[in-house]
Each structure stands twice: as C-alpha cells, then as structure tokens.
Structure 1
Amino acid sequence: MAAFIPTPASIPPPNALLRLQDIPNAPPNWHPLSPLSFILRAAQIYPEKVALVHTDVQQPVMYTFSVWAQRIQNLAYALIKAGIRPGDRVGVIAPNSPMIADAHHGVLAARAVITPINTRLKPSEVEYILGHSQCRLLLVDYEYLHLVAGTKIPVIVTNDTGRAGDPYEDFLAEGRCFSQEKGWPGLEAEPDENAAAVLCYTSGTTEGCPNHAQRLVSGGSGERLRGAVSLREFIDARLGANLRSKNEPPDRILPMFHAAGWTFPWTNVFAFAKQVTLRTVNYTHIWNHFLHSGVTHYCAAPTVQIGIVNDPQARRPPQHITAIIAGAAPTAHLIAELEKTGIKPVHVYGLTETYGPFTRNYDDPSWENLLLEERARLMARQGHAFATAEAARVVYPIEGDAVSNGPLKDVPRDGKTVGEIVTRGNIVMKEYFRDPEATQKAFAGGSFHTGDLAVIHPNGSVAIMDRSKDIIISGGENASSLAIEQELASHPHVLEVSVVARNHIRWGERPMAFVVLHPQHAAKWKGRHHEFGKDMKEHAKKRLPGFACPEWVEVVPELPKTSTGKILKTELRKIVAKL
C-alpha cells in the first residue's frame, strides 16, 4: 500500500504515559482485571509494531500499537465529552474495520458497555435492540446508516477513510482536544472488575427465538439477547482463546459483532499480533492474504471454511496456517479438505453466553497414524474445556425435570448416552440483560445449560449429537441430524448438506436431506437430481443405520443461513411442513 500518514490527532505525544489513573485506596496486591491493560502494554513494549491493517478498501490504513493506543484514548475522551457515563451502552454497527476494533477498547476505556450490533439485521430488529439495550450513542459505518434512519439516538458516522474530514476522525480529534493532553492517566480505571463490559445479541437458528431466550420482536425475529459480560469474565475468556491458539491469535474473518469476535479483539492485542480486517468475506482477498501477506491464523464458521477450500485460488500456502472453526459443527469431510489444502483445523465449541468457544478438540498423538478420514472424525468432536473454564459436563436432569434446581447428574462416559452440555465458571455470562426469569432457567442446577445434546467419551471428550429440536425420532429410534450430515457430507459431490425431520406415515418421522452440490460436479447431475438422490441414498446405506438414512433428498442452490453463517433449519422445516 502507498504510504499512509495517520491524522495529527492520532500521533501520540513524546513519552506518553501508558497507564490509567490509579484507583484510590487500592491494596498493593490487587488490581481489577481489564483487557485495556493489553493495548497499553503492547503500545509500551512494541510501539512501532504494526497492530492493525485495513488494506482491501479504497483508502487503506495501517496503525502501529502506539498510534492505535492514542486513537483508542481519543475515542474514550470523545465518548465522555458526548455525555457517556459509566455503565451507559454504546452501540456499534460496522463491518470489520478500524472503528469497531477501536470501539472494543475505547468504549471500555470510557467505562461504558459496548453493544455490537449485527450489520445484516433489518431496521426493525435494530430498532428493537436499540430500545431494549437503551443505547445512548451509536458508532455507525456509512454503509449501514439505513439501519438507524429516524433514530433519535446521537450517531457518529465513519466513512472508513482514516483521513481528516471523515466524521469519525473529527470525533476522535474532538476527544483529543477535550483531553487537554491529560492522556491515559486522565481516564479513570473501572474499579469493579465485575462491571458490565459488553452486551451481545446474536442470530438464532431455531423457531422464533432460540433456546433459553426471550422473544425480542413480535412474531420472533431470530434475535436473542445475550447477557451482560463483565471485565473479569472477558479476561478469562481471552486467556482461554489465547491458549487454544498457542499464544498466536488469528487474523480477522469472524465478524467482531458476533459474540464480541469470540474475544479475539483482546486476545490478538495481548499477543502483540498484527490484525488484518476485512469488510466482507471476500475469498479473493482472503487467499491474497494467505498467499502473500504471511497470515498464519484466522477464525471462521464452517460455511466460510467451505468457501475457502473450494475457491478456485485454493492451493497450499507458503506458510503454515491454522484455522479456528466454530459457530457450527464442522463435518469430518470439511476437516479433511482443510488439511489437504495445508490448513490445520482447530475445532472449538461455545456460545455467545460463553463469549464464544469454551472447549477445544485437543490433538492426540495417537491420531497421527490414522487414516485421514478416521482422524477427521475424531477431530470433529467438541473436545475438552479450556484451562480457564470448568470442565464441560454432559448431564441429564434428575427425574426428567430439565429446569430443576436440584443437583445435576452426569451421564456415563460411554460415548453413547445422550445428555445436555452444561458448564460453569468465569467465562460464562453474567446474566440475560433485564430478564431474570430466563437467567434463572439457564442457570438451573448451578450450571449454564447450552441446549446442545451430546455424549461424553471415556477420555472426557464431548461430542455433540444435536440440538434438542433437531433430533429425528424415527420408528422409536433417535437419529441425530448432525451425525447424518457428517456422513452425507463425505459424498464427494456434496458441498453442503442439512437434514431435518419430515413426517412419515409408518415411521412417524424420517430424515430429509437438503443438498448443495459441489460446483465441479453440479453439471454432471443437471436435470438428473432424482438420480443423484438415489446415489446419495446408496452412499448413506453404507454408513448409517436404516432409520437414519434419508428418505428424501432435495438438491437446492443454497441453504438458508443466519447472518453469521449458521444454517436456518427453521426455514427448512417450513419447507418440509408444506410437502
């Protein structure tokens, strides 16, 4: 990129003191945990190291840690000048870009609560979130102003230029002026590490509103509120994320609005990593960075991973790349394809209520001598909890009462008995905001209930079988739609597949598979989808018991998905209900 010069307000003064205001009367053996310490530490140790790269835009920018820290400081002062007080919610609507990266630190520096909002929502959904969260100010990217048209909440717009004259840059400059060069010591540190730090909303994948969530929009928007998250809890979530990457966090593909970017906005800074931000999931840009920018880590949902390995530019990169996969369970076939491309998959599992992943499928040395397909099946399990999380348990409720406050009973470690994944500890959310009833239900028995059905193997590794609503009961047998999808995805002509239950006169329910064909093989089956269905059923018979084999196979151009890439089985069930 051509030489970029940050705005004058972004240049820190000489010998800037990178420390927040001391907390009065704090004991010398304690300090409140906060991810703000990461950016201050990075700016002190590696001031000239590149921290943030935003190149795939008309006006590229690049910031070092010292410059970025100054911009974050400016944002904090600008928010305070705008009337933001401790505990106030600040909404952010933006793609991955410098502004939302700034906000994950700057809003906390103002002792406010960042509320990242999905850029792909409808205006009515955004309106509800703004009302429910009671946001006091909005930071909005120019492409998404239509989502807040008519709002009475103050809006700061960014044109994503990084140049003087951009409204966001002017806002930062006002903050610098307001600070009167008091710098970081002029900002109060949050004394309560349990104070709220972020408020998340996330797209749902089940009817109306997903499990353990209130209906936020009349008729069900698929949006659910995620609880207030504390500063201390983010530290623990960040450490867990850092450990899963062996202290080398990934570059950015995952949207930062999604579960606060799985806490990587803080993890990356903790490890002094250079972050590459992309406004969209553009496979040309992704592969350009893989092949020419030295990118070594990234994180993305399975649907994005499928696009990466099947892109025409896909080839073995010159450097080792690790892919963090979560958001939905990857199939063994996808894991195998990533490995063939030279990308090491690291499978993790979690929910927004746990700030993203809290388990990882850790490598086992005994897998090295296994065939690729067999190893990939083992890697598709959800694995064990992070070091910073309490063990992931699989339990069934006593006396069949799923919301009992009595003790939870673990299922046997036989890899067969199905129960629900529960967890507890520092990386579990604080609460469902303004919904004590939902919070109490989610924490029944003293643990957080995920709603995911799983088995636990003798080595303690968790393997998800399905969401409770997605189990197919056929002739009295429980068939896991996830397990069926894993096997169907191994068909060489399948790009994506999703399975739901369809009513059957004799068996009650039978699986129906919706399949997206691989582009390289779609032409072979053009006008012959019925024959492909027969071929798929024969493939299934070799891998699945009869009750789990799909009775119907429908070839579709694409699968319905949420804005974060999760397959919307609710929409598929609507299709099935009309058949």
Structure 2
Amino acid sequence: MFLPHNALLIPPPDVSYRQKVPPGLPVHKHPLNPLAFLLRGALIYPDRIAIRHPDVNHPAYYTYSIWAQRVQNLAYALIQFGIKPQDTVAVLAPNTPMIADAFQGIPAARAVICPINTRLTPPEIAYILQHSRAKLILADYEYAHLVKDAEIPVIVSNDSGHAGDPYERFLSRGRMFSQDRGWWGLDLEPDEDAGFALCYTSGTTGRPKGVLTTLRGTYLAAMANAYEAKMDINSVYLWVLPMFHAAGWTYPWAATFAVSTQIILRAVSYPLIWNHLFNSSVTHYCGAPTVQIGLVNYPGVKKLPRPVTAIVAGSAPTAHLISSLEKIGINPVHTYGPFTRNHSQESWAALPMEERAKYMARQGYGYTTADGVRVVYQTEGEDLKDVPRDGKTIGEIVVRGNLVMREYFTDEKATEKAFKGGYFHSGDLAVMYPDGSISILDRSKDIIISGGENASSLAIEQELFNHPDVLEVAVVARAHPKWGERPMAFVVLHPSKAPKWENKHAGFEIDLKAHARKTLPGFATPEWVVVVPDLPKTSTGKIQKVELRKRVTKL
C-alpha cells in the first residue's frame, strides 16, 4: 500500500473508532482506558481543532479526526518496531505535537510511556533509560544530543510536521504497516490496572524513583480534573505546564475527555502566554506558583477581557498570589495531588479579597473520584490516627484509592514504605480544620525546629510574601548555636522595587524582619535575610530548597 504523505493522516471514509473487545470480558464491564476519550472526541466532533501549535517555524493544526489518525499511525509504528505490551517507550521532548501524540499512541500500542524531563543531564537520563527498561526513545531535535550515546534506538522529531521529518516518516510507516486495519486491529488492553505512565521523581535526595500509574487511575484522574476545572467542549487549554512533568498532571486526557482544543507552547514564554490569553480564547492553563508569579508580574499586565481558570499545583500558593491572580481576571483552582482541591464557599463572598484568598490557599477536600484525604500521626502500634480538626495539630497527609500510583517501579522496599498502614504517605505536613478541609504547612524535611518549636517554612513564606517589595521568597533552616535552627530567608525583590534597595540590602533585612514580627512569633521570624537575583528551580518552576540548603551548610 502506498499513499501520499498527507493522505496518511486522513482517516478512511469508513473509519471506526471502536477497538476489539478482549475475549472473556463480562458484558457488564469494560476496562477503563483514557485513550477512549480521544476516540470518542474523533467520533462526535471529527472536525473540531484538537491541537494548535502556532508559535514555531512550522505551525501545525490538527482536527480530532486527523489527530486520532496520527495516534493510530504511531501505535502501529511501535508495534512494527517490535514494542510489546508493557514495554517502556521513553519520550524526551518539550511541549510539541509529538509528545501529545505519544501520550495517546504509546498506550494505544499497550506500552508504557516514560516522559523524561528535558532539564536533566545525560547521566541522569541514562539512568532513567536503564532503570525504566526503555526499548525506544522518541526525542525532540533540540534535546536529541542528550541521548546520542543511548544504547537503544532513537526516533528524532524536527517538530516540522513535514514528510521528510524522521518522526513523520515513522508515523507513515505505521500507517502502511496497518494496511488500514484501523482501531479494530489494535487490541484493547484488558487489564485496567496495567502500567500506563512511568514518571520519575526529581531525585534530589538520591536516585530518582519511577512512579508507575495505571490506566484506571489516569482515566479517573483525568475525569476528575476536567470536572473540577469545569472543562468542556468550549474550553481552550493552553500548555504552559511541561507535559513531561507528572504526565502533565493528567491534563493530556482531561482535555480529550472534555473534547477541548489544546494550544501547545514549546517553552514558558510570558509574551506568548499573554498573547494567547488575550487573543486565542484561552479558558484554562496549569502552572506552579512560581510560573503564576512571573505571569502576574509581567510588565504591562492588565485585566483580561474574559475570565480564565488557572489550575495551581506543584507547591502551595500564597494568599497574596491568589489575590493577585483574581485581580487580573484569572480564577485560581488550587489543587494538590491530584488528590484534593479547594472549593469556594458562599460565605467567603462577603469577605475582603485578601481574607478570602487565605481560605482559598488551603488544599481543601478530596477529588470527585478519590477517596477522602486524611491527616494523621502514627501511634506506637503503627496504626494511623487522625489529628483533631482544630486547625493547629500537625500530621502527615495520607491518601489511598483510585488516584494513587500503583508502585515505585521495580522498588518493592520503597513501595512498601510509602504504603505503610494501607495508605500512601505523602511526606507533606498539614492541619485539618473543623470544616474538614486541609492546609499544608510544610514538607516534613522543611519544618524548622527552633528551640523545641516547630516553624513552618511555608507559613513564614506566606507572611513574607505580603511585604510589598517581595517578588519571591524561600525559607530554609540554618544551624543556630543556641536555638538549634532558625529560619533563613532568600528573597528576590520585585523589579520595580529593587532600585529602592540598591546597595541597601542590610536596610531591607531590617525592614522585612519588622514586617515579619507583626504576624509571626519570634522563633518563626527569619534570623537571616539574603537578597538574591533568582531562586534555583526545577523545569516546572518549583523552588529547589535542597540547593538552598546546600548553600546554607557552607555559611
């Protein structure tokens, strides 16, 4: 069979979006699989734009029917290559159509996708490839040099969409190999608890661990995300969050569940983001708090003509940030996990914005498709006991149920430790309020123990953020000869305020401490304040406190 390249992306006239039912499956049951969302969208809205990739040398626009054909071509290409069910296929790419294809096409071949952070070094990437047992790498041209010494094959995408592109040729071979057997020729994975995505932790305290999630968990998390963010057929989702980060927080499938349009940005560019917010009918985007800070402080920022929903996760946003987003027409949906989200209450409407934002900064309640979240401490018998709902007693957040990972890949010891007591232990410390909502105080490793008192670095940061000259701040523990530990604050000044304190950082330190003492107890007031040009961050904008702690140990 031979078809011109463009024809290889066009579904046959009699296209069917139904996959073969696995033999022996009960009539009353079908295995949950997030690929079903894309196929349903292609059936009902074949001509709706699914993918827009405009801000590149070779812009690409794909309808749901064309995109579904690309995904099908990729699945057949992987099978022709020799990929078997539950084999791992790695993807090293920024936000591009290729990684969007991969999140659908690799599972369509019943394989496991392993998205790799593009900011990692070659040795780190080599470890992930080895540990994940990857059989093939799909790599973007900009990052292909990071896997030039890989011992497994690499398919490179030039992000062009053109026939001569190696990745596009790979897709074309898949279509020809399929002989137009279509979706019916791709077996549906019968086990909804089969591995689906393998994402690696940052590895800041050792080797990164592979977090293996399932078809079922991803399906239910995507549904919950779409529901909680109120995404639907009229939604336009802007890809600010890197898709490789925790599988894009499952929004690759939340978007297809809602049959929404996705606009793909290769990198975080505030001029491009603001252009799309104003001119591309964007309704939703995701971003860590540091990304949101950059957005609200972009020069010339002004209120949006229509409301936009921002899903804020990755770390806890401050009340000041939430207030700043609301002022420019961005509605923050604060999520955690995805396990919980904050739900606005009618009684908050009468509160001043700053007061309402403090309530909105809480992590809230369990997701629609999740089990309820608990805040616990461990007894001598290793039983988990809930903390009282007093908003004061600190415990660890634990969760179980549909949205929890299946395991740490090939690491039984780490999995057993994480699931101790029948719950997943998050390592995040929180309190629970009388209304049943939770609020994170810190990571267990970030709590500052000063003179026997526990000081939350997050709570300190929340208060320091309220200083009008502070753009970003991170607080870590520093050894103290009398109190054991005291807080040390690293501060990035707001660009418009920096000239005020030029060559006067000692004066700023005095001013910030005076501000802190108004609301913080003495043991939580920063002992040291350092003004820095920027803070070390991950590729998703999360502040790397481990790097700050390394600096502190050298002081």
TM-score (norm 1): 0.93
Aligned equivalents of 2:198 and 2:547: distance in 1? 27
Higher mean C-alpha displacement, 115-124 vs 314-323: 314-323
Quote the residue 1:529 is aligned against: 505
- 1:157 deviates by 0.5
- 1:377 counterpart (358, 370, 375): 358
Listed as ranges, the matches of 1:449-528 within 5 Å are: 449-528=425-504
1:202 is displaced (CA, Å) by 2.6
Equivalent runs, 1:374-413 vs 2, <5 Å: 374-399=355-380, 406-413=382-389
CA distance in 2, matches of 1:84, 1:390: 35
Matched, 1:195 2:179: no
Q: How many Å apart are 1:516 and its aligned residue?
A: 0.1
State the partner residue of 1:102. 101
Deviations 1:344-403 (A, max 9, x none): 1111112xxxxxx2100111111111111111111111110101111110000002xxxx
What is residue 312 of structure 1 aligned with on the other side?
A: 299
Q: In structure 2, what is the equivalent of residue 225 of structure 1?
A: 209
Residue 26 of structure 2 is matched in structure 1 by: 27
Q: Deviations over 1:26-65 (max 9, x none)?
A: 2221111101111110000000000000001011000000
**Counterpart contact for 1:475–1:509, Cα < 8 Å:** yes
The letter for the 2-side match of 1:567 is I
Aligned amino acid, residue 353 of structure 2: L
Paired residues, what number?
549
SS at match of 1:478: strand
**C-alpha RMSD over aligned residues:** 1.2
Q: Quote the Cα distance in structure 2 between the aligned partners of 1:126 and 1:52.
A: 28
Q: How does 1:10-25 map to 2 (within 5 A)?
A: 10-25=9-24
* CA deviation profile, 1:195-220 (whole Å, cap 9, x unmatched): 1111111325xxx42xxxxx32xxxx
Which of these residues, 533, 538, 544, is aligned with residue 520 of structure 2?
Answer: 544
Letter in 1 for 2:364: G
Aligned with 2:325 (options 324, 331, 338)? 338
Cα displacement (A) at 1:87: 0.7
Contact 1:203 1:563 in 2 (8 A): no
Specify the alignment match of 1:299 in structure 2: 286
Shift, 1:313, TM fit = 3.9
Distance 2:475 2:328 in 1: 27
| Structure 2 counterpart of 1:431, one-letter code | E
Residues 425, 517 of structure 1: alpha-carbon distance in 2 compared, 3 angstrom cutoff: same
Could you say what secondary structure the match of 2:29 adopts? coil
Amino acid at match of 1:295: V
Deviation for aligned residue 1:6: 8.2
Alpha-carbon displacement from aligned partner over 1:428-457 (angstroms, at most 9, x marks no partner): 000110000110100000000000011000
Q: Among residues 388, 408, 413, which one is paired with 1:437 in the alignment?
A: 413
Cα contact 2:231–2:260 (8 A) shared by 1: no
Residue 365 of structure 1 aligns with which residue?
A: 346
Runs of 4+ in 1 over 3 A off after TM superposition: 247-250
- Which residue does the alignment assign to 1:424? 400
Are the aligned partners of 2:132 and 2:210 in contact in 1 as well (CA < 8 Å)?
Answer: no
Q: Which amino acid aligns with 1:56?
A: D
Q: Which amino acid aligns with 1:62?
A: Y
Q: Which whole-Å CA distance do the structure 1 matches of 2:449 and 2:108 have between them?
A: 51
Worse overlay, 312-321 or 139-148:
312-321
SS at match of 2:540: coil
Q: Which letter maps to 2:81?
A: A
Q: Aligned partners of 1:150, 1:500: CA distance in 2, in Å?
A: 38
> What residue number does 2:220 align with?
236
1:310 and 1:361 map into 2 onto residues whose CA distance is 24
Counterpart of 2:21, as a letter, is D
Contact conserved, 2:486 with 2:527, CA < 8 A, in 1?
yes
Moved more, 72-81 or 497-506: 497-506
Cα deviation digits, residues 295-319 of structure 1 (max 9, x gap): 0110000111011111114211111
1:276 to 263, 280, 297: 263
Gaps of 5+ in 1: 210-214, 217-223, 351-356
Alignment partners' CA distance in 2, 1:87 and 1:296: 35
Q: TM-score normalized by structure 2?
A: 0.97
* Residue equivalent to 2:172: 173
